[in-house]
A and B are shown apart, each in its own frame.
Chain A
Amino acid sequence: GQQVMQIPQYQHVQEGEDFTTYCNSSTTLSNIQWYKQRPGGHPVFLIQLVKSGEVKKQKRLTFQFGEAKKNSSLHITATQTTDVGTYFCAGQTTSGTYKYIFGTGTRLKVLA
């Protein structure tokens, strides 16, 4: 079945370092969303990307959607301790049920 993989699974960084998580789908996506889940919390919507090659920025966060609409990335510049959490991508299928398939997540730990 359709899968969305994320790498890395875990990432420990020193505060101030950059961080990137990558999301890869086995099939073309209609759009992709990114969520952040703090420890003990629930996923919180960050952004949606729809267009091929789209790049969006939110302060220190930069989101990209691949040209083939099968991959995406989230880059955080100069991480802070408040960035700790698990980052999930969620891709919407282009046919069939149009459901969202969540990636496996990248757990980020920021060391002060």
Chain B
Amino acid sequence: KAGVTQTPRYLIKTRGQQVTLSCSPISGHRSVSWYQQTPGQGLQFLFEYFSETQRNKGNFPGRFSGRQFSNSRSEMNVSTLELGDSALYLCASSVGYEQYFGPGTRLTVT
């Protein structure tokens, strides 16, 4: 089975711009979660989608949003980028309790 894929792998954006990241879960996995990983804050939960519905949400501002499509692929969007949004964004898919992480998208905001 193919693993979780994320595109793009690397991205450089300027403050004020917006960005969309994509995540394709493992086939058959209907739950997709997004995390932000930074050296200072560690892994922080953004949100979880299940069957196209947001099931859980972390403590991030409204600039961070996401959605899930009928094929379980998910996107997350960050609007009005800030320098502090520079991070590794990881998505994880699951069918039970075990989360399978993708390789992440490294976002740099300049």
The stretch among A15-23, A51-59, A64-72, A102-110 that forms the contact with chain B is A102-110
**A43, A44, A48, A90: which has the most chain B beta carbons within 10 Å?**
A43
Tally inter-chain residue pairs, CB-CB below 8 A: 47
Proximity string of chain B (82-110) to chain A, C-beta cutoff 8 Å, 1 when within and 0 when not: 00000000101000011111111000000
Size range of the interface on B? 20 to 34
A101 CB–B CB distance under 8 Å: yes
Contacts of B92 in A (CB 8 A): 43
Contacts of A90 in B (CB 8 A): 43
Minimum CB–CB distance from B7 to chain A (whole Å) comes to 14
Q: Which of B62-80 contact A (CB under 8 A)?
A: none
Q: How far is the CA of A112 from the CA of B47 in the complex (A)?
A: 40
Proximity string of chain A (67-108) to chain B, C-beta cutoff 8 Å, 1 when within and 0 when not: 000000000000000000000101000000111111111000
B57 CB–A CB distance under 8 Å: yes
Contact A1 B90 (CB under 8 A): no
Q: How far is the CA of A51 from the CA of B86 in the complex (A)?
A: 38
B8 CB–A CB distance under 8 Å: no
Q: Is the interface of B mostly helix, strand, loop or mixed?
A: strand
Q: A31 — nearest CB in chain B belongs to which residue?
A: B97
Contact A48 B97 (CB under 8 A): yes
Contact A33 B58 (CB under 8 A): no
Q: How far is the CA of A102 from the CA of B101 in the complex (A)?
A: 14
Contacts of A41 in B (CB 8 A): 103
9 residue pairs A–B, Cβ–Cβ below 8 Å:
A31-B97, A33-B99, A42-B104, A43-B90, A88-B42, A99-B58, A100-B99, A102-B35, A104-B42
Which 10 pairs show the lowest CB-CB distances between chains A and B?
Answer: A102-B43, A42-B101, A97-B56, A99-B56, A45-B98, A43-B101, A104-B42, A99-B45, A42-B103, A48-B97
